[in-house]
Amino acid sequence: MSAGGTAQSELDTPVAYEEREGLLDRIPRAVAIAGLGILGLILWQLIVAAELISPILLPGPVDTGREILDSAGNIVTGGHVFEALWITTQEVILGFILAAALGFGLGVVVGETRFGQRAVMPYLVGFNALPKVAFAPVFVAWLGFGINSKVVMALFIAFFPVIVDTAAGLAATDRDTVMLFRSMGASRWQTLVKLKLPTALPFIFAGLKTAAVFSVVGAVVGEYLGGGSGLGELVRLSAQQLRIDRVFALIFYLSIIGLALFAVVGWVERRIVFWHRPDPTDVASA
């Protein structure tokens, strides 16, 4: 065979290319997370040591860590931090559950009906554009200083992503498959339950993950501006006393609530939507 023929045959032969990973991609996930966190702590300590910011406004990681441990001891002994943590956790969970239920229901209405798309969705978009923080005192005036106003605030902030992602997931269903279902005599309800909802599940869980984080924001905003009790109230009091190290410690525990709820949603997603490629944003997937 001539050299030209050999070259031509090599061009016609498919070549398998292996995806080459960079040096950073080969680092185990746990090591990468720990290393990045340590790097952040070192940078934080350097900023404090250089006195670029007043230590009153930016306490060092050692002072913050000490306050985190003190708060942990208070939680273990059932002190006031534990009571505030328990109240905020209830508000977040109840607000998330209500946001998930309401968001899913309205998302199906928007995604499945012309009335929902033409009439309901514009109101929902306008509703979402409202300055939500300003409603915290309103909810307190309506529902009081107890847990109810904070739950409604968490619902108010968290439900819209579930609506949008549910509607988007229903709209992402392949039209040819929908026509196939209808040609086989499937009703609209059967098409929704057996085709569209399974297709939309990855979208729905993406909205639920966003709602899990937003529900923490809503509960804290309600506590911070609406009085009462909870970690948000402790953050407000600590900030007034310029105890920024305590503020950081309380924020740490608030983040634990959000991460825990996010991880639970991710765990449920992996059990239900097992055929879907894992979400790279899921902190609990690896």
Q: Which fold has domain 59-272?
A: MetI-like fold (1.10.3720)
pLDDT tens per residue across span 30-82: 888 888 888 988 998 888 888 888 888 888 899 899 999 999 999 999 899 99
Average pLDDT in the 144-154 region?
A: 91
Report the predicted TM-score, pTM, of the whole model to 2 decimal places. Answer: 0.84
**Domain residue extents for the chain:** 59-272
pLDDT tens per residue across span 150-190: 999 999 999 999 999 999 999 888 888 888 888 888 888 88
Contact 254/88 with Cβ under 8 angstroms?
yes
Distance CA 210, CA 207 (A): 5
State yes or no: pLDDT of 16 exceeds 50: no
pLDDT tens per residue across span 235-268: 999 998 989 999 999 999 999 999 999 999 999 9
CB count in 10 Å sphere of residue 224: 20
Q: Show the tokens assigned to 139.
A: 């909810």
Neighbour-count burial of 251, counting CB atoms closer than 10 A to its CB (0-12 exposed, 13-18 middle, 19+ buried): middle
Cα torsion through 36, 41, 42, 46, rounded to 10: 140
